[in-house]
Structure 1
Amino acid sequence: MGIFGRVHAWRAAIFVMSLAWFAPVADVHAGTLLSPGSAALVRSSAEPFGLFAAVLTYGGLREKWLDVERKLDDERVQLALCDGDRDRCVSPAALQLLAIVDNARAREGRARLGELNRAINLAIRPMSDLAQYGQIDVWSSPLVTFAHGAGDCEDYAIAKFVALRLAGIAADDLRIVVLRDTVSGDDHAVTAARQDGRWLMLDNRRMAMIEDAYMRNTQPLFVIDQHGVMQYADRPVLADLRASSPAPLVALNFTN
């Protein structure tokens, strides 16, 4: 290794150590996303957007997700019971979600992801938490969302996260990602699913799926997986720097 290689290696090592030392990165300024709390650095280039992520050990967002997880534990039991004996299932919301999962199971690969993305987008009406609950930033579990027939972006994302797992997608290949629109400043949640080594974004705002590498005007903030919540420690703005190369949308069962 030449002198320049050693200099670059030392710079990289110092950068990683500095991230670990200053682990509690900046709070999110939007009122709908609470401060993350402390974090422990994890090398995770396999995450959506290929960025490092830091595990949140406490904080408002982590507590919010833990509350959702407790509800999901109960709902998974109900969904399993209904899946085993649908004639005696007393939850219309569970039956509706399972029907969507059935249709997705009948497909393979990207078609499975696209079928489920489209079906859940059509099953839930977009509605803000303030309009529905009189509160800001309420995260609902899937059966609650389906019972109401309405929700906002994180409700779609949570429902898809659970439904994709039921449809046979491995837990290691599923994420919920919280993003910031760098033009409007709004925060937005999507489901991410890995297919053939590539992360596809399942978004309630579009019927087509798009790879993370082609997201425009987006800043990744947080990522949630089966183990908990992580904050991106290295969060570049994904501006429209590659406009000459069109994004390869994966349009499956697209409707207007």
Structure 2
Amino acid sequence: MIIVVTRCLRSLRMRGLQQSVWLFLLGLSLALISSFAAPDHDKTQALAQERYGARAVETVAAWRRLIEESRDLPDLDKLNKVNTFFNRRILFQDDIVVWQQTDYWASPLEFMGRGSGDCEDFSIAKYTTLQILGVGNDKLRMVYVRAKIGSTASVAHMVLGYYPQPTAEPLILDNLITSVRPASMRSDLIPVFSFNSDGLWVGGATASSADPTARLSRWRDVLERMHQDGIN
């Protein structure tokens, strides 16, 4: 597990959390839509075949079945199914390996097409899928954390948080852990900030400390690629 965790966080460790926060505040768009429309599955599968081949088509088809079978489930069941789907099917690899870049935010199709990605890509894919399944944006936040790995110093990491109520303890979806767990059971994670389309929260704050603004950024690029892929 230590080896897997170390590899999973290597790219974020290289650039450091302070740089991540700085890039986020200066350039990452928080123009997240409150929910994603039903994806154009036929278009997405056709693009998967064209760009990535048969294995990607199989993964996208399985993702489509996941969505169709999970729409009417309670939120907790949706969380578990989505978390398990991506954690079991997708391999962690650093951006430099997958994209030959130190920091690249992949769309869900790119993530499933390559069959690999880093912690940000896992979080984006889970967030998008849960939005498609009707989980409200007010319950979901991308969360940057400091993660303690063994006896080593903490390193930067990204997870997805589900908040049953705005001030409630979140459930954490993490590519490093197979199960969805309450934040109180993840003493290895120290929250730094979280965000969604409604704002930005610093640490464990219950009130937003900033209004989201739309600007050219990695996330805005991701949204555009999702649109081109038939996902929103």
Change (3 A) 1:104 1:35: same
Higher relative contact order (CA 8 A, sep 6+): 2
The answer to whether the Cα contact below 8 Å between 2:75 and 2:135 also exists between their aligned partners in 1 is: no
- 1:169 maps to 2:135: yes
Deviation string 1:76-128 (CA, Å, 9 cap, x unpaired) is 67x6333xxx4895233654433332233253231221011101112211111
Aligned partner letter, 2:187: R
Looking at structure 2, the residues matched to 69 and 122 of structure 1 have their Cα atoms a distance apart, in angstroms, of: 30
Task: Return the index of the structure with the highest Cα Rg.
Answer: 1
Normalising by structure 1, we get a TM-score of 0.58
Please identify, of 93-102 and 189-198, the stretch whose mean Cα deviation from structure 2 is larger.
93-102
The answer to whether the Cα contact below 8 Å between 2:146 and 2:155 also exists between their aligned partners in 1 is: yes
Change (3 A) 1:149 1:192: same
- 1:81 maps to 2:44: no
The answer to whether the Cα contact below 8 Å between 1:109 and 1:195 also exists between their aligned partners in 2 is: no
Looking at structure 2, the residues matched to 63 and 91 of structure 1 have their Cα atoms a distance apart, in angstroms, of: 33
1:1-256, aligned counterparts within 5 Å? 31-33=15-17, 35=19, 59-62=22-25, 65-66=28-29, 80-82=39-41, 86=42, 90-92=46-48, 95-182=61-148, 183-195=152-164, 197-232=168-203
Aligned partner letter, 1:188: H
- Deviation of residue 233 (structure 1)? 7.8
Normalising by structure 2, we get a TM-score of 0.64
Aligned partner letter, 1:122: R
Deviation string 1:185-222 (CA, Å, 9 cap, x unpaired) is 21111111123744110111122111112221322112
Aligned length: 178
* Aligned-residue identity in percent: 22
Change (3 A) 1:181 1:80: closer
Looking at structure 2, the residues matched to 198 and 154 of structure 1 have their Cα atoms a distance apart, in angstroms, of: 22
Change (3 A) 1:114 1:134: same
The answer to whether the Cα contact below 8 Å between 2:17 and 2:155 also exists between their aligned partners in 1 is: no
2:15 alignment partner, SS class: coil
Q: Which runs of 5+ in 1 are unaligned?
A: 1-27, 38-58, 235-256
RMSD: 3.3
Q: Which runs of 5+ in 2 are unaligned?
A: 1-11, 49-55, 206-232
Looking at structure 2, the residues matched to 140 and 69 of structure 1 have their Cα atoms a distance apart, in angstroms, of: 17
- Deviation of residue 139 (structure 1)? 1.6
